[in-house]
Chain A
Amino acid sequence: EVQLLESGGDLVQPGGSLRLSCAASGFTFSNYAMSWVRQAPGKGLEWVSGIGGGLDDTHYADSVKGRFTISRDNSKSTLSLQMNSLRAEDTAIYFCAKDAIPYNGVWDPFDFWGQGTLVTVSS
């Protein structure tokens, strides 16, 4: 059974940093691209960042580029998101999501999602 378990969400002051983690199980983690998707309170879904099969194959939404860094540890089946220079508008539930098909150069839809972790940026 595929499971994605996020952790690390917290209340942080503007300008602060936070590191989110997503522990994956039930599938061959290294074969799949992974992403972070966020949802601000009462709002829609926003893709934040994705990482492909290669550790250097990373992509970011313009809203977080230069502030957030995605990474993965295939030996521990763990996805991470380092968030720096946090702003109030980064307040959201952050979901970890798995691509539906083993990575082959095409970024696929998400067939499994974690339950999300809440990040609140406020003074």
Chain B
Amino acid sequence: EIVLTQSPGTLSLSPGERATLSCRASHSVTNNYLAWYQQKPGLAPRLLIYGASNRATGIPDRFSGSGSGTDFTLTVSRLEPEDFAVYYCQHYDTSPPRTFGQGTKVEIK
């Protein structure tokens, strides 16, 4: 089972700044089957990125994903007020479980 470790736990930034979130896997992720989700309080998560670097439908281009193997990054180029939320990475593959990282909270500085 792959364990995903996200860092930092909390990121304090101002609107307009760049956010860089990390997700490290305990073993190499097959075919870069790595997704990122955004979750706001009281709401269900929303898929942002799949296949490590592909934006999901309707996701603004200020969100980008990169990485391969065991190290992955989610970047928000310029934070908008609505981007302050918790972000999770997730591994998926031919066999479950589909584990999540513990999350990174992006808060307003």
Chain A residues engaging chain B, CB cutoff 8 angstroms: 35, 44-47, 50, 59, 61-62, 95, 100, 105-111, 113-116
User: Is the CB–CB distance between B98 and A107 below 8 Å?
Assistant: yes
**Contact string against A for B residues 82-104, beta-carbon threshold 8 Å, 1 for contact and 0 otherwise:** 00000010101111111111110
User: Is the CB–CB distance between B44 and A47 below 8 Å?
Assistant: no
Determine which of A59, A108, A113 lies in contact with B44 in the assembled complex, contact meaning CB atoms within 8 Å: A113
Determine which of A44, A107, A111 lies in contact with B96 in the assembled complex, contact meaning CB atoms within 8 Å: A107
**Sample (12) of A-B pairs whose CB atoms are under 8 Å apart:** A44-B88, A44-B101, A44-B102, A44-B103, A45-B100, A59-B95, A106-B92, A106-B94, A109-B92, A113-B44, A115-B43, A116-B44
CB contact list, B48-105 vs A, under 8 A = 50, 56-57, 88, 90, 92-103
Interchain pairs with CB closer than 8 A, number: 64
- In the bound complex, what is the Cα–Cα distance between A6 and B41 (angstroms)? 18
Determine which of A61, A100, A113 lies in contact with B45 in the assembled complex, contact meaning CB atoms within 8 Å: A113
Determine which of A45, A62, A109 lies in contact with B50 in the assembled complex, contact meaning CB atoms within 8 Å: A109
Task: Note all chain A residues with C-beta closer than 8 A to B95.
Answer: 59, 107
Q: How far is the CB of A55 from chain B (nearest CB, A)?
A: 16
User: Is the CB–CB distance between A109 and B47 below 8 Å?
Assistant: yes
Nearest 5 CB-CB pairings of A with B:
A113-B44, A109-B35, A59-B96, A45-B100, A44-B103
User: Is the CB–CB distance between A106 and B97 below 8 Å?
Assistant: no
Using C-beta atoms within 8 Å of the partner chain, give the interface range for chain B. 20 to 34
User: Is the CB–CB distance between A114 and B44 below 8 Å?
Assistant: yes
Q: How far is the CB of A94 from chain B (nearest CB, A)?
A: 11
User: Is the CB–CB distance between A100 and B50 below 8 Å?
Assistant: yes
User: Is the CB–CB distance between A44 and B44 below 8 Å?
Assistant: no
Given A45-B37, A107-B95, A107-B96, 5 further pairs, Cβ under 8 A = A100-B47, A106-B33, A107-B92, A109-B35, A110-B47
Known: A113-B44, A114-B44. A106 touches B56 (CB 8 A): no
